[in-house]
Structure 1
Amino acid sequence: MERQRQRARMLMKVVTLLCLVVLCTAIESPQYAVVHSESDFEVRLYRDSTWMMSAPVRELSFEKSTLLGFHRLFQYIQGANLNYSRIAMTAPVVTSIVPGAGPLHSSAYFVGFYLPVKFQADPPIPLTELNLKPYAWDSHCVAVRKFSGFAKDEIVVREAEKLAVSLSRSPWANSTSDDSGYAYSIAQYNSPFQFIGRVNEIWVDIDVSGIDSCKSSAYLMSPGPKIISASPRHRASSISDAI
């Protein structure tokens, strides 16, 4: 019996890793504008958007939680929804950490991805057993630190600490926000089979009342080239209700 469980877990990992290859060709992500930039981080302003998020994954490992959460999301986009709709994958895959006493100062993880424009207004309803739910994310500001390589547990912690140090020395020192219920989020943009040029990011929400440049959405809405990326923040009564 134990051997069967191990084989099932291994199969799920292989299937999920193969599924993640689609991230290499993902073309849709929420739009943002950079409102502040320094050598080791930047602050972005995002539009409102709708995301599909997993129920809380209560594993100790960030890597394992991301794997489990994405496995549900992949089933959903492959047609495990009430409309039997196939949904194009977007990038990045985002794992948000709920503060707690775990190894990554976590109590749970939420895994999600941005819904394509086609489904923003009316997302297909996931099958109940997937434990997924669409969430509306408000326009907001987020501090971002990029890092390369694979997002392993120990690397994620180190990069989050570096972003915290950078923010403490910047005009945003007292502007981080915990309204979202997350300590921070990790974005992964690449297939696990891409070994060179990998891009990951640490995201920390910014309190928009702290800095004038992030108060208004006028800059984001103005004409001009748009940068493609993603970062979620939920409206009140969303994620916290699920914990």
Structure 2
Amino acid sequence: MVRPSAIAVGAVGGLVAAVGTWNRYQRVTTEEVPYTVVDRIDDVELRRYPPAVLAQTVAPSENAAFRRLFRYIDGANEASTDLAMTAPVNVEGRGESIPMTAPVEAERDDEGVRMAFFLPSEYDADSAPRPTDDAVDLVPVPERTLAVRRFSWRPTDRRVARETDRLLATLAGADRDPVAEPFFMGYDAPWTLPFLRRNEVTVEVEGEAVATE
């Protein structure tokens, strides 16, 4: 006879496996901003990112910022371009639907939470659909070098702060000077299992590094 506890464990295991499979599918199907790893300092990667366009907002909370930006990519924009019947789909009266792109930038300051979505690489500052919400801005970002430290589990404020301190300490030991404030980059949906999450803390650094073999 199979004990109820064994059935429960099996059910939980099946659910974890299903969620894990969905997480992997999401990563495969979500466009990721391209970059080139030009150097490594211990467990920190130095990445060269090409020019990009960010849809950016500042809100009182992460949830409010995320919802505002998601509405923008889900059609709250002024575009009138006719799209073929592929993803994304243009819906009458809702503007152009823009696919989700990873990662999502976020940082806190005195004004609230600044959050930004990278737009797909096919858009530039001129071709990106204009937001209908005045609280959403399109921000062109030039080519830049970012120092990045990756970690997993849930990105609580305490964990992000700890990983940021480690990132800055590593850079200080290598005499690499940040040129801006650190920020967080997240790649996963909120329901992603903690041990499968890809989180990164990053900061822009000066100059270009020599590419490694």
Interval containing the TM-score (normalised by the shorter chain): 0.7 to 0.9
- Match 2:116 to one of 87, 112, 116: 112
Counterpart check, 1:28 vs 2:28: no
Over alpha carbons, which structure has the higher Rg?
Answer: 2
- Quote the RMSD (CA, aligned, Å): 2.2
**How far apart, CA to CA, are the structure 1 residues paired with 2:136 and 2:169?**
34
8 Å CA contact 1:41, 1:145 repeated in 2 = yes
Counterpart check, 1:123 vs 2:128: yes
**How far apart, CA to CA, are the structure 2 residues paired with 1:109 and 1:193?**
21
Aligned-pair identity (%)? 27
- Match 2:188 to one of 166, 171, 190: 190
**How far apart, CA to CA, are the structure 2 residues paired with 1:194 and 1:132?**
26
8 Å CA contact 1:73, 1:132 repeated in 2 = yes
Aligned to 1:77: 73
Aligned to 2:161: 157
SS in structure 2 at match of 1:194:
coil
Task: Rate the CA distance shift 1:132–1:25 in 2: closer, same or farther, 3 A.
Answer: farther
- Bigger mean CA offset, 142-151 vs 162-171: 162-171
Counterpart check, 1:42 vs 2:45: yes
**How far apart, CA to CA, are the structure 2 residues paired with 1:138 and 1:117?**
13
Residues 107-162 of structure 1, C-alpha deviations (whole Å, 9 max, x = no match): 54311111113333511111135x11111101011110001011111111111111
Question: What residue identity is the alignment partner of 1:204?
Answer: V
**How far apart, CA to CA, are the structure 2 residues paired with 1:25 and 1:73?**
22
Q: Give the deviation of 1:193 after TM superposition.
A: 1.5
Task: Rate the CA distance shift 1:33–1:27 in 2: closer, same or farther, 3 A.
Answer: same
Q: Give the deviation of 1:23 after TM superposition.
A: 5.6
**How far apart, CA to CA, are the structure 1 residues paired with 2:206 and 2:112?**
23
Count of matched residue positions in the alignment of Structure 1 and Structure 2: 171
Question: What residue identity is the alignment partner of 2:172?
Answer: S
Aligned to 2:55: 52
**How far apart, CA to CA, are the structure 1 residues paired with 2:164 and 2:185?**
12
Question: What residue identity is the alignment partner of 1:192?
Answer: P
Residues 191-215 of structure 1, C-alpha deviations (whole Å, 9 max, x = no match): 122213211000111022xxx526x
